[in-house]
Amino acid sequence: MLAAILPVHAEELPDPTRPPALLGSAQLTAPVPAGPVLQSVLISPQRRVAIISGQAVKTGGKYGEYFVFKITESEVILRRGKEIQTLKLFPDFVKLTGVAQTKSAHRQE
C-alpha cells in the first residue's frame, strides 16, 4: 500500500536508433558540387547517352554551353572552344594498376 503513495522515478534510457547529438541536420546532407555532375552513362550499339546533372545528352549534343565530345563507360568529355572538361562517373574511385602481393605468396615450401 505504501508503494502506491510514493512516486516512482524511472531512469530515462537513450534511444539506440537516434543519431548522435553531435550530428546536426546540416551535416547529414552531402555537399552540393559546384559544376556539372555525371550521374549515369547509357551505351548501346546504336547510341551513347549521358545523364549530366539530370539532363540526358547524346554524343555530339550540348550541355549548357558545352559540346559533348565523347562518352565512355566511365566518363564524359565536354568541350567549349579550347576548354576541355572531363566528368567522371566515379570521381573518388582509384583504379589500382598492379596486384599487391604479400611475402607469403612468394614463399617456397
Whole-angstrom distance, CA of residue 109 vs CA of residue 103: 13
3-state helix, strand, coil in the chain (%, to 5): 5, 30, 60
Tell me the whole-structure pTM to 2 decimals: 0.57
Tens-digit pLDDT profile for residues 5-36 = 666 666 777 777 877 766 555 555 566 667 89
pLDDT score for 44? 93
